[in-house]
Structure formats: C-alpha cells, structure tokens
Structure 1
Amino acid sequence: MTDSMEQIIPIGKEADFPAGYGREVKAGKWSLAVFRTTDGRLFALENHTPHAKGGTLSEAIVSGHYIYCPMRDLKISLETGVVQAPDTGSARKFEVRTGSDVVAVVLPRP
C-alpha cells in the first residue's frame, strides 16, 4: 500500500534484471540504478554516486548486499544506501516491489 505522496512505477520484468549486475532505469523524472543480488533480491538507488565529483552507479560492482562505485570505489549498502566508513555519504534508496513477474519502484509523487 502506498500513501498519497507515493506512486508505483513498473520498470520491467524480473528477467530484465540478471543477478550480480546493475541496470539503469528511467522512471518518471528519476534515473535509477537497479541491482539484483545473487540471492535474488532487487534494490534501487538513485543513479548518482554520493561522491562530490558525481558519476553514475548503474555500472557498480555488486558484492553481496553492497556495491562498489565504479568511479570512486565507495562501498555502498544496497539495503540502506549508506556509504561505508571510512568514507561518508549516501545514495537515495527506493523501495522495489515484485509481483506477477513485474518489477516496480515506489517513487515520491512529482
């Protein structure tokens, strides 16, 4: 269930997201990096590294429930979006929902 400030946006089928990889997805005004871990879970982060110099996250290396930023080697939790110490920062995380082979994200309403 979503509240009136959220919207559910379909972004693809489960087969569109292979385990161990990230994929860039456009949903509304958002560019998302969607990752499937080897245990089959799906995660979505805003497709922008938290490093001050910027960059995208969709090409990050997946390791367990973490990704390693391809530009700055930041270790980022897929579960929280938080950069792991000794670095700091966070990437915005979005809820992913699945059902009937459809993958969707929960986004704030514009």
Structure 2
Amino acid sequence: MEQTNRKVFVGNYHELPERIGKTVILEDKELAIFKLANGEVRAIENRCPHKGGVLAEGMVSGEHVFCPLHDWKINMKSGLVEAPDEGCVQTYEILKEHDQVYVLVPARVINS
C-alpha cells in the first residue's frame, strides 16, 4: 500500500508574517503555519501535547516554537518537544511554488 499526499494552499509566501503563527483548518486538522527568520516555512499540528496550548500563538525562536501556556519548546522540523519535557506534534511537509505555499497532507492509502 502506498500513501499519497495532496497539496493544500495555505497562503501567499509574501503575506505570511515572519515568526508569527497562522492557524489553518484542514477538515479535521488544525495546523500552525510559520515563516521563520531564515525564510523557510514550517507546518505543525496546532496543539501542544502537554495541555493543548495553541502553538500558532507561541513565541518563535529559530526552528522552535514555545507553547504559550507552559513554555514547552517544540522543534518545528522534527515535531519533538525538548527535554526535560516529553512528547511530539505532527509535522507536515511544505511545498512552495512561486509565491504560493502549500502543505502536503496525507490523502488516502492506495493498494499497489
């Protein structure tokens, strides 16, 4: 079985605020989209694994976002929470075509 991804438009690159999260709702998923200081864009699950804090409202530093509730530090590339805390969030691949930013989300499973 092979899983395919579908690309979902989340915004124009030039309109994404730097180091400020944007909440995007895709069906049953809520994502936090961030444009980092280095220009890269990251997409992660928008809930902290600790107490469900909204990560799009968190402070951004480098590749990390700090949960606004209890300051948990989460790596936006790997989704891992930094020790001594434990947990992880789902990360999503980003595709940038010209000025348009898409997130790749699992579409369905194909029998092959």
**Code of the aligned partner of 1:7:** R
1:56 Cα deviation from its structure 2 partner: 1.2
Q: Conserved in 2, the CA contact under 8 Å of 1:50 and 1:89?
A: yes
Runs of 4+ in 1 over 6 A off after TM superposition: none
Q: Which of 69, 86, 89 is matched with 1:88 structurally?
A: 86
**Code of the aligned partner of 1:60:** G
* Cα-to-partner distance string for 1:69-110 (whole Å, 9 max, x where unaligned): 101210000111100000000010000110121000000116
TM-score (norm 2): 0.89
1:16 Cα deviation from its structure 2 partner: 2.5
More displaced, 68-77 or 10-19?
10-19
Identity %: 35
1:6 Cα deviation from its structure 2 partner: 1.4
* Cα-to-partner distance string for 1:31-74 (whole Å, 9 max, x where unaligned): 110011111010000111111x2221110100011110101210
**Bigger radius of gyration:** 2
Instruction: Please list every run of 5 or more consecutive structure 2 residues that lacks an aligned counterpart in the other structure.
Output: none
Q: Conserved in 1, the CA contact under 8 Å of 2:58 and 2:68?
A: yes
SS of equivalent residue, structure 2 residue 14: helix
SS of equivalent residue, structure 2 residue 57: coil
Separation (CA, whole Å) in 2 of partners of 1:14 and 1:29:
24
Q: How many residues align?
A: 107
Instruction: Please list every run of 5 or more consecutive structure 1 residues that lacks an aligned counterpart in the other structure.
Output: none
Matched, 1:13 2:12: yes
The match for 2:69 is 71
**Code of the aligned partner of 1:50:** P
Matched, 1:58 2:56: yes
The match for 1:108 is 106
Separation (CA, whole Å) in 2 of partners of 1:67 and 1:4:
29
